[in-house]
Every structure is written in C-alpha cells, then in structure tokens.
Amino acid sequence: MALLVEQLLNGIQLGVTLFLLAAGLTLVFGIMGVINLAHGSLYMIGAFAAAFVAAETGSVLLALLGGLVAAGLTGMAIEFVVLRRLYARDHLDQVLATFGLILFFNQGMVILFGRQPIFVALPPFLAGAVEILPGVPYPVYRLLIIVLGLLVALGLWFLIQKTRIGALVRAGATHREMVRALGVDIRLLYTLVFGLGALLAGFAGVMAGPVYSVNVGMGEQILILTFVVVVIGGVGSIRGAMFGALLVGIVDTMLRAYVPGLLRTMMDASQADMLGAGLASMGVYLLMALVLLLKPRGLFPAHA
Amino acid sequence: MRISASRRAVLAAGLALAASPLPKPAIAQGAPLRIGVITTLSGPGGYLGADARDALQLAAEMNGGRLGDVPVQFVVEDDALRPAQGKQIAERFLRNERIRLFTGVIFSNVLGAVVPDILDADGIYVSCNAGPSNFAGRECRRNYFVVSWQNDNLHESAGALANIMGYQRVFILAPNYQAGRDALTGFKRLFRGTITNEVYTRLDQTDYAAEMAQIRAARPDAVYHFHPGGLGIAFIRQYAQAGLLGTIPQVLPAPSMDVVTLAAVGDAAEGVDVSSHWNSDFDNAESRRFVDAFRRRYNRMPTYYAQQAYDTALAIGAALRGTGGSVSDPEAFRTAMLRADFPSTRGNFRFGPNQHPIQDWYALKVERVGGQLALVTKRKILENHSDAYAAQCRI
C-alpha cells in the first residue's frame, strides 16, 4: 500500500514535469499552428542556464531566475527571427526549420559547455527526504516539483480563464481569423504566447536539472513523450495537456513498477522481466493509439 | 479538415524526431591511411565518443601522426546512438570513401548494425568499446577484433566483486538493449548469491523514481546497475535523493561510474564500489604516459573510453607495422593483430581464441584523495579473464 502511494507520487511528479513542457507546446501549436520541435531546446537552455548561474553565484533564486530569463528570451528571439516567417508555410517547413534549430542549439551548447553532463547541486534544505507515510521516505525535492508544477498549472488556468490576455489566447485557439478581424495585434499575441511556452519549458528544465542529468540533447529525450501528451490531451488544450500529462506520467510509472511483477506470477522470472520492460515502454504509445482510435482529436479537443 | 492535417503533422514531427539522420560531409585527403571512426558524439552518450575520438587522435599525434610507422588520418562521424545512422555512415565510408579499416563504435546496438556490413565488404573492424555477446561466440568473425572487453566481462567482474564484498541478496538493473541484457547475464554468471529483482529500464529513461521505490521495498544487501553515461548520473543522483545511499550499498561496473559521471554525481558517489579493467592511477609506464599526455592535450582526466581507444590505436599500429602499412590483405593484418605486440595501458593484455581480450580485472572505490573524489584502485578481482563465449568460436 505504502509502495503504491509512493509510485503514485512518482507518476504525478513525472506528469507535472511533462505538463510544464506540454503546456507550451500545445499552446503554440493550438494558437499559432506551429509545430515547434525546438521546444526541447528551450528546456535544455533553461537547465543549462540555471546550472551555470547556480555554479557561479550559489544562489537558488538567481539560478531559477537565470533559467527562466534565458529560456524566455531565447523563445521570443526564436519567434521573432525564425517562426514569424513560417506561419503561412506548410507544417513540413516548420518542422524542418525547428529541427534545424535543435541542431543549432545542441551544437551551441557543445561549444559553450562541452559534451560532458554538468553537475547541478541541490540546495541543502531540499536535499533530504521526508516520511510521507510511516516507513516511506520521499525526496523533498520531488515533492517541491509536484507542488510548484501544480501551482503553475493553477496560475496558467487563472491566466487563461480569468484575464484579458487569456481570453485572447482562447479566442486565438478557436477562431484565429475572427480575433485578427477584431483588430487585435495578433503578432504581439504570438510573441507573448511563444515566450510563455518557452518560459514554462525553461522552468521544467530548471526543475529537472538537479534530478536528471543536464547534458546536450536532454530536450529531445523528453520531447517525444511530450508530443504523446499533446496528442492524447488534444492539440491546443491546456486542460488536455494537464490531464494528458498526469495520465501519461502515472500510466508510465505504474506500468514500469508493476507489469514485470505481475508477469512474474505467470512465467519464468527473467523472461517476465524482459517482457514486462518491453510492455511497459510500449504502454504510453499504446495508450496514445487507443485514444486516437476512440477520440481522434484527443481527450479535450480545443477546436470545437 | 485543418485539424486532422495538423494532427498528422504532429505525429510526423514526432517520427522525424525519432529517426532523423544528421549527415555531415567527410573530410577527404589523399596520402595517409584513412581509418573510419563511427562513434557517438551527440546526445547523453556524446562524451563517450568524444573521449574515444580524442584518444585515437592523441595516439597518432604522440607518434607524429603515425600508427606503426604509417601516416594515418581518422575520418570521424557521429552515429547519434542510432543504429540506422551508423549503418548509413558505414556504407558511405565503404563505398564512397573506400575506407577498409574501422573503429569507434561505443554502443552495442549501433555495432550490431555497423559491423556486418563492414565485414561482408572485406573490411576490418577493431572495437574500442562495445563487445556484444552475439559476435563473441558462434558468430565470431575473422576480421573483427575487440580491444576493450567482451560486454559480459564488465559485469562478471562486478558479480565477482559482490561475492568478495559478501553480499547475499542483490537487486540488479540495466537498460533494455543488447548490452543491458549482456550486463545482467554477465553479473549473474559469477555472482553466487540470490537476485532479489531483475529490472530492465529504458535506454531513453531519465526518471528512475519507480525503480527506487522497488529497491526500497525489496531491501537487498546491495544494488548493481549498469547505466552508462548520462543515464548513470541521473540514476545515482536519484538514488541519493531517495535516501538509499546510506542504507543500501552499490556495486557498479565501470560504465556506471567513470571520471565524468563521478564529477557530475558529486558527493553521492563517495564509497561506491566499482569493477574495471583500468583506472587512471594504474602504475605502469604506458598508462602514466597516456594519462599525462591526455591531460596535457585536452585539459581533463581521460575516462576508460579514452584509454580503450588509445589501446585500440596502439593495437592497430602494431598490426600495421606487421603488414608494412597495408590493409588490403586482411589475413596478414589478422596475423599481425593477434600478436598484440604493443604495450597496453592496462599492463596484462592478449587476444583470446575469439579475438577478444584476456586481461585482469580490478576493484576500485570512490574515495577522497586530497579533498577531491577520485576512483582509487584497490585489488585484483579476476586474473587472465577470458569470456564465456570464446569456446563457441570456430575461426
């Protein structure tokens, strides 16, 4: 039982990290109609910038700020310099251009920081573990990721549902032409939305730094799963991204944790482990296929 | 209509991401013997290939651009840890660049795609890292040499180390790919205790929380895991964060704890036991010469990936000296190669009947040396150790 709770928390934590990435991706795609493969690069830039600032200053707050600013500014620069020219173009052109950006940023990071993964220290007051249930210590830092991630989700919900900017974003996601016809500066809105998405990706990168390994190419590793989240949740829907991310996080964690054990009761141990690992890693993709089959536009489609 | 088109585009984008080649033009010149180096330079495993490449080049530079009196040039390309991409590079090197001699592959899954093409075209492959089981036994080949180790060796030595440490119940993990499966098989071959759990992780996994919870629930005497490069950094850091570090000791094979992982893991690595065939503190002339030269040239400590590549370069040099610099006669090259007439950085080295190494294995421990964490060599675990597949090889 205690183990189940712990694994559930693990799933939620993975889901929250995925949400931070998927929210930006789905917003950019839903509103601007752009597939941004370089979204993972922004995650990487956030992680590297935070690691760099942390190593230079030793301040957690400055590191967080550094990561956010670097990712946000890079995001807006990408929008201003590259993507602006691609809105009217075919998706294939966008994919090509943003894939080029991945290569550009990866090589840039190799030049700046080298290929070796870099060390990110946890601040001492976050390093320990607390007992969430008797006998089940859980890392404080992972709890913090969950809390901050949920707070960001709440903030995002408020921003999108309760503010004027949010209203424009929602309108942009459903009736882009109408928003433009009403005289809203859609270009500014696009830059803001892209910057927001970049900020979220950067935040995910900053949070991931001390837990995962900070290295060149870290963005592409997680981006594939993020795309799965976006497809499951419904393209352009923040609510979909939230539920999709939690679903993927929990399903992925639970499958990894329990499928091999379940199969062990039915067959030879080492065969069960092998098959279980295979099934677990297929799990989220099967889930995606299933969702596409039943609800081709995702669980929470943004476009009515 | 627009929506379904865009969904397809999202899927296509994901697909493009999963299987995108990164072609780069090769540098071509006339005179020197060109050696194809297909290695992993990007992604989380990027530093492994970079170390191998740098050590190969260093070995040539230390001899005035020559290996075995022959001027050589390394033609390096990045396989990005994608077997298909490695295969494409091999085909291009063979057909367009007319390269006959290859090395460099880090990962076994890439090696599996690259080596058959090279050997079928009468090329020669000398492995500086991956030594998967499938090419060590019945399917061993005349023009395929491994200077590093057979994959299982890394893990057999860790199993032997666990015996020495007196551990009875061990929890073992490895990524689900050829080398990962070899790892767990290898560990179990020499380990005499019981295995509490056998877990396969993913090669692209970054979060190990689910595994940490399983480890805590299983309460083993020790944990053994094979996670090369960035995977190991994430794993060991999360191991410490989960509060397991003080309670359950780890026994690791060399790939899970090299000098780069050590620096990135930090204090969480202190006291970890590691098994390896080489360490930067080895007290023999060739090793000292190599470590000094590498540090001077690249301003960092070499990993064992660099050391193996350096040994590979020396082995190739010895073979080239034997053939007078020619690779057109693979049989002559083979005869010269198998003599292993070079001073290895690991001291004791010769080729077994399947053209894989017979060498010694050592126990290392992460300790503080002058305030800095470092891998310190402790004792010999296995002497003149061959591999389990050598007997099946008929060549």
* 3-state SS string for chain B: CHHHHHHHHHHHHHHHHHCCCCCCCCCCCCCCEEEEEEECCCCCCHHHHHHHHHHHHHHHHHCCCEECCEEEEEEEEECCCCHHHHHHHHHHHHHCCCCCEEECCCCHHHHHHHHHHHHHCCCEEEECCCCCHHHCCCCCCCCEEECCCCHHHHHHHHHHHHHHHCCCEEEEEEECCHHHHHHHHHHHHHCCCEEEEEEEECCCCCCCHHHHHHHHHHCCCEEEECCCCHHHHHHHHHHHHCCCCCCCCEEEEHHHCCHHHHHHHHHHHCCCEEEECCCCCCCCHHHHHHHHHHHHHHCCCCCHHHHHHHHHHHHHHHHHHHHCCCCCCHHHHHHHHHCCCCCCCCCCEEECCCCCEEEEEEEEEEEEECCEEEEEEEEEEEEEECCCCHHHCCC
Q: Do A215 and B44 touch (CB under 8 A)?
A: yes
Q: Which residues of B touch A230 (CB under 8 A)?
A: 10
Among B241, B259, B373, most A C-beta atoms within 10 A, so best to mutate, is B241
Point out the least confidently predicted range of A176-190, A222-236, B20-34, B292-306.
B20-34
Q: Do A35 and B10 touch (CB under 8 A)?
A: yes
Q: Which residues of B touch A256 (CB under 8 A)?
A: 201, 210-211
Q: Which residues of B touch A13 (CB under 8 A)?
A: 207, 209
Q: Measured between CA atoms, how close is A116 to chain B, in angstroms? A: 5
Q: Which residues partner with A173 through β-bridges?
A: none
Q: Which residues partner with B125 through β-bridges?
A: B102, B144
pLDDT beyond 50 at B20: no
Q: Which residue has the higher pLDDT, B45 or B273?
A: B273
Q: What pLDDT does residue B2 have?
A: 45
pLDDT in tens, A138-188: 888 889 999 999 999 999 889 888 898 888 887 877 777 788 888 888 788
Q: Which residues of A touch B202 (CB under 8 A)?
A: 277, 281
Q: Where are the domains of chain A?
A: 2-215
Q: Which residues of A touch B43 (CB under 8 A)?
A: 215-217, 220-221
Q: Do B42 and A106 touch (CB under 8 A)?
A: yes
Q: B80 falls in which pLDDT band (50, 70, 90)?
A: confident
Q: What is the mean pLDDT of residues A203-227?
A: 87
pLDDT beyond 60 at B216: yes
Q: Which residues of A touch B234 (CB under 8 A)?
A: 211-213
Q: Which residues of B touch A33 (CB under 8 A)?
A: 6
pLDDT in tens, B355-368: 999 999 999 999 99
Q: Which residues of B touch A210 (CB under 8 A)?
A: 237
Q: What pLDDT does residue B359 have?
A: 95
Q: What pLDDT does residue B146 have?
A: 97
Q: Measured between CA atoms, how close is B47 to chain A, in angstroms? A: 5
Q: Measured between CA atoms, how close is B11 to chain A, in angstroms? A: 8
Q: Which residues of B touch A136 (CB under 8 A)?
A: 216
* CATH, domain B152-276+361-391, list 3.40.1390.10, 3.40.50.2300, 3.30.1300.10, 3.40.30.10: 3.40.50.2300
Q: Where are the domains of chain B?
A: 33-149+283-351, 152-276+361-391
Chain A residue with minimal CA distance to B237?
A: A211
Chain B residue with minimal CA distance to A234?
A: B7
Cα B1–B4–B8 angle (5° rounding)? 140
Tokens of A296: 């081709």
- A vs B: CB pairs below 8 A: 181
Q: What pLDDT does residue A60 have?
A: 87
Q: Do A235 and B16 touch (CB under 8 A)?
A: no
Q: Which residues of B touch A228 (CB under 8 A)?
A: 14
Tokens of B77: 């390309």
Chain A residue with minimal CA distance to B5?
A: A91
Q: What pLDDT does residue A67 have?
A: 94
Partner residue opposite A273 with nearest CB, options B22, B199, B242: B199
CATH fold of the domain at B33-149+283-351: Rossmann fold (3.40.50)
Among B11, B76, B206, B260, most A C-beta atoms within 10 A, so best to mutate, is B206
pLDDT beyond 50 at B172: yes
Q: What is the ipTM of this complex?
A: 0.72
Q: Do B209 and A217 touch (CB under 8 A)?
A: no
Q: Measured between CA atoms, how close is B196 to chain A, in angstroms? A: 10
Q: What is the mean pLDDT of residues B19-35?
A: 56
Q: What pLDDT does residue B11 have?
A: 57
Chain B residue with minimal CA distance to A12?
A: B209
pLDDT in tens, A167-176: 888 787 777 7
Q: Measured between CA atoms, how close is A52 to chain B, in angstroms? A: 13
Q: What is the mean pLDDT of chain A?
A: 87
Q: Do B242 and A141 touch (CB under 8 A)?
A: no
Q: Which residues of B touch A121 (CB under 8 A)?
A: 266
Q: Measured between CA atoms, how close is B257 to chain A, in angstroms? A: 13
Partner residue opposite A211 with nearest CB, options B17, B241, B263: B241
pLDDT in tens, A81-92: 988 888 888 889
Q: Which residue has the higher pLDDT, A166 or B20?
A: A166
Partner residue opposite A222 with nearest CB, options B13, B206, B237: B206
Q: What pLDDT does residue B132 have?
A: 92
Q: Do B13 and A35 touch (CB under 8 A)?
A: yes
Q: What is the mean pLDDT of residues B134-142?
A: 92
Chain A residue with minimal CA distance to B300?
A: A116
Partner residue opposite B17 with nearest CB, options A92, A127, A223: A223
pLDDT beyond 70 at B1: no
Q: Do B237 and A10 touch (CB under 8 A)?
A: no
Q: A136 falls in which pLDDT band (50, 70, 90)?
A: confident
Q: Do A10 and B209 touch (CB under 8 A)?
A: yes
